[in-house]
Structure 1
Amino acid sequence: MAEHDFRFSMLTPQHTLIECRSLAVGRYQVTGNGGSIKNDDVLLVTVKGSKTLHMRLNVEKVRHLINPPGQWVAVANGPAFTELAIHQWKVNCNGCGKEQDIEFMVEGKDGKKALKPAAQARITELGWKAVGEHHLCPACGKNAS
């Protein structure tokens, strides 16, 4: 099992994601070029409409195409969204005043009640610490420990 990074990058044009579309909730069809994709591998793919978010997809089966050379089509399992919504918030460090824009994904039909838990999870994922309603950036969080 290998992990292949197909997030958008100008540094790896030989490994490109051509299409990623939803077949059903939590099931995706991914078309790409490059890499040696095999069954049970993990693909990191950029979320459409996002600058920083990506999804981890587990390849169930892959078919390598003869023409064009290097192209493949895979069926993969991943996050189960029926209506994906991307939100952007600003988080401020209460220690040093640093401000950072964050993006996070939520299930669109869950509405506003899902925003705060999803934002907190993303902030934690980025290395920030939450202390009540206050936030500490990764640098201030290390100093506080």
Structure 2
Amino acid sequence: MTTHDFRYSLLSPQHTLTECRALAPGRYQVTGNGGAIQAGDTLLVTLKGSRDLSMSLAVEKVRHLINPPGQWMAVASGPAFRELAILNWQVACDGCDQRIELEFAADASLGEKAYPAAAEARLQELGWASQRGQHLCPACKEQSA
């Protein structure tokens, strides 16, 4: 099916989200305009309170509204957060001392013990490597391979 990008960085008045709220952990109700959303499509949405984190939602069912024209409401599934926390940590490369301001999402209901695993997962998404407790930026990661 189709992927629809509704992240904040791509704002367009004809193609926007009005609301995205959690119905239960992993289930979301999304309301928006434009995009011709259908069941089976994927929605990319920015996480509330984040500069550049997004999540992918799989549309299960959609209802197109008559008024206003082009508006729709969908039920979608995605990451299951009981209590979403957006955190910022600073990480330094142990090879070249390059620093990154790391923004990542974690489930705050699991406590602080869940934060390191969420941070490591986000670092891997950004191309960094973690080996024996040391962090390597993408450039140093290539050199060590």
Question: Are the structure 2 counterparts of residues 141 and 12 from structure 1 closer, same or farther at C-alpha, using a change threshold of 3 Å?
Answer: farther
Q: Secondary structure at the match of 1:35?
A: coil
2:8 alignment partner in structure 1: 8
Inter-partner Cα distance in structure 2 for 1:123 and 1:96: 16
Between 1:54-63 and 1:13-22, the stretch displaced more is 13-22
Shift of 1:10: 4.7
TM-score normalised to structure 2 length: 0.94
1:83 alignment partner in structure 2: 83
Query: 1:49-78 deviations in whole A, cap 9, x for unaligned?
Result: 011111111101111112212111101011
1:2-81 → structure 2 map (5 Å cutoff)? 2-10=2-10, 12-81=12-81
Inter-partner Cα distance in structure 2 for 1:9 and 1:65: 26
Structure 1 runs of 4+ with >3 Å offset: 10-13
Inter-partner Cα distance in structure 2 for 1:6 and 1:90: 28
The runs of 5 or more residues in structure 1 that have no matched partner are: none
Shift of 1:13: 3.8
Q: Secondary structure at the match of 2:9?
A: coil
The runs of 5 or more residues in structure 2 that have no matched partner are: none
Percent of residue pairs bearing the same amino acid type: 61
Inter-partner Cα distance in structure 1 for 2:34 and 2:109: 36
Which amino acid letter does the alignment assign opposite residue 133 of structure 1? G
Which amino acid letter does the alignment assign opposite residue 93 of structure 1? C
Which amino acid letter does the alignment assign opposite residue 84 of structure 2? L
Inter-partner Cα distance in structure 2 for 1:11 and 1:121: 27
Which amino acid letter does the alignment assign opposite residue 61 of structure 2? K
Shift of 1:93: 1.1
TM-score normalised to structure 1 length: 0.94
How many residues are treated as equivalent by the alignment? 145
RMSD value, Cα: 1.3
